[in-house]
């Protein structure tokens, strides 16, 4: 049997998948980069604008708000990354209760962001359950209008998002920790390493690739996948207090019917996503070089 012989029939097996990707994903993605430079209401033919849409974007106060909010969300990536790490490292060796936690850890993750967004919208209302709960445990002074305070709301959104992904992070890290050789932990113990030293010297290096994946997921989530949870929890408001770049795409297209300008917003979100992927690839290259 010759080694270089191609199975040309293979194309029939990959064709349906590639067709779906090409028509319904790649083509729409590529057209964004054309429409973003045009003035277009979706009905008449698009008019080429050059860079005018981008100049407008840079002057747009809703764009400024969305960038500010995206940056605030990104500040939560360390918490997003480290919180599950501490918990996973603590329950690496099973203790009483860790089995219970593991069995429910993924429940928020498998729930729709729509369910979480609407649910927390209900729970966080002024007379909602969470304020009642705070008063019940003597923290009544903390009770507030969580989704109405402009300076607070984006932080609440970040914390609810971390709540959704926290258990996924723990289970992911535990899976990766299972692949670390137990002899490394024994060696750390013989060397008299404390819990924190063991975490830094054995656990973190051992699960580094998984942590990198989770960090990248964090940035992508906060920069480009917040729409469902924010749409249902706050609608982007009050005002522009939780307005993120994805909302610009949505509102320009479906409220203002400016599909050209909407695509300009979309190009910005693509650039953010590519930036994250580029940073990850560079990081991986540097590691391999070492």
Partner 1 sequence: MSRGAGRVVVSIVAILLGLLTILPFYFMVVTSIKNTDSYLAEKLLPPSRPTFENYVTIFSQLKLAVYFRNSVIVLAATLFPYVLICSAAGFAFAKLRFPLRIPLLLLVTAIMIFPQMVLGVQIYNLQARMGIINTHAGLVFAYLGYFAPYAAYLMTSYFRGIPRTFLEAAKIDGAGLWSIYLRIMLPIARPMLVTVIIVGSQAIWNELPFCLLLLRSTEKRTLMAAIALLNGEYGVPAMEMCAALTVVALPIILLYVIAQRQIQRGILAGGIKE
Question: Could you say which residues in the range 259-278 bind partner 1, by CB under 8 A?
Answer: 259, 262-263, 266, 269-270, 273, 277
Binding of residue 44 to partner 1 (CB under 8 A): no
Closest approach, Cβ 175 to partner 1, in A, equals: 5
Q: Which of residues 45-64 bind partner 1 (CB under 8 A)?
A: none
What is the Cα–Cα distance from 290 to 278, expressed in whole angstroms?
19
Give the total of residues touching partner 1 (CB under 8 A). 98
Closest approach, Cβ 266 to partner 1, in A, equals: 5
Closest approach, Cβ 145 to partner 1, in A, equals: 16
Closest approach, Cβ 152 to partner 1, in A, equals: 19
Binding of residue 128 to partner 1 (CB under 8 A): yes
Integer angstrom CA distances of residue 62 from 70, 71, 109, 186: 12, 14, 30, 55
Q: Which of residues 78-97 bind partner 1 (CB under 8 A)?
A: 87, 90-91, 95-97
* Identified binder of partner 1 from the candidate list 44, 103, 183, 290, rule CB under 8 A: 103
* Identified binder of partner 1 from the candidate list 122, 139, 282, 283, rule CB under 8 A: 122
Q: Which of 218, 76, 191 is nearest to 200 (CA)?
A: 191
Interface stretch with partner 1, choices 50-58, 63-71, 117-125, 150-158 (CB under 8 A):
117-125
Q: Which of residues 143-202 bind partner 1 (CB under 8 A)?
A: 163, 166-168, 171-172, 175-176, 179
Q: Mutual orientation of helices 245-254 and 61-74 as an angle, nearest 10°? A: 150
- 273 neighbors 250 (Cβ within 8 angstroms): no
Closest approach, Cβ 231 to partner 1, in A, equals: 6
- 116 neighbors 229 (Cβ within 8 angstroms): yes
Binding of residue 283 to partner 1 (CB under 8 A): no
- 241 neighbors 150 (Cβ within 8 angstroms): yes
Interface stretch with partner 1, choices 60-68, 138-146, 196-204, 216-224 (CB under 8 A):
216-224
Q: Which of 276, 228, 33 is nearest to 116 (CA)?
A: 228
Measured from the CB atom, the residue of 49 and 252 that comes closer to partner 1 is 252
* Identified binder of partner 1 from the candidate list 21, 58, 275, 284, rule CB under 8 A: 21
What is the Cα–Cα distance from 50 to 39, expressed in whole angstroms?
10
Closest approach, Cβ 195 to partner 1, in A, equals: 8
Closest approach, Cβ 1 to partner 1, in A, equals: 8
Residues 6 or more apart whose Cβ sits within 8 Å of residue 222: 70, 73, 74, 76, 77, 158, 161
Residue 236, Ramachandran bin (φ over 0: left; ψ between -120 and 50: alpha; else beta): left
Interface stretch with partner 1, choices 13-21, 68-76, 185-193, 282-290 (CB under 8 A):
13-21
Residues 6 or more apart whose Cβ sits within 8 Å of residue 147: 121, 124, 125, 153, 156, 233, 234, 238
């Amino acid at each position: 049997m010759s080694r270089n012989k191609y199975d040309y029939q293979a194309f029939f097996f990959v064709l349906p998948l590639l067709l779906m990707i090409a028509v319904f994903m790649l083509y729409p993605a590529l057209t964004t980069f054309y429409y973003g430079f045009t003035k277009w209401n979706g009905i008449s033919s698009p008019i080429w604008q050059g860079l005018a849409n981008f100049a407008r974007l840079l002057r747009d106060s809703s764009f400024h708000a969305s960038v500010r909010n995206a940056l605030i969300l990104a500040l939560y990536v360390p918490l997003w990354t480290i919180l599950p790490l501490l918990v996973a490292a603590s329950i690496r060796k099973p203790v009483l209760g860790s089995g219970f936690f593991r069995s429910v850890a993924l429940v928020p993750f498998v729930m729709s962001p729509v369910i979480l967004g609407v649910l927390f919208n209900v729970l966080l209302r002024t007379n909602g359950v969470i304020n009642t709960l705070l008063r019940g445990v003597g923290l009544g002074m903390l009770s507030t209008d969580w989704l109405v305070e402009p300076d607070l709301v984006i932080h609440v959104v970040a914390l609810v998002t971390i709540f959704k992904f926290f258990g996924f992070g723990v289970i992911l890290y535990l899976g990766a920790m299972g692949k670390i050789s137990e002899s490394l932990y024994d060696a750390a113990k013989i060397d008299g390493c404390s819990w924190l030293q063991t975490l830094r010297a054995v656990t973190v290096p051992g699960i580094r690739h998984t942590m990198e994946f989770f960090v990248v997921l964090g940035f992508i989530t906060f920069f480009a996948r917040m729409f469902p949870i924010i749409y249902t929890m706050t609608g982007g408001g009050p005002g522009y207090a939780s307005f993120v770049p994805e909302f610009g795409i949505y509102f320009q297209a479906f409220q203002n019917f400016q599909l050209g300008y909407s695509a300009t917003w979309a190009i910005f979100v693509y650039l953010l996503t590519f930036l994250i992927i580029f940073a990850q690839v560079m990081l991986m290259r540097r590691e391999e070089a070492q």
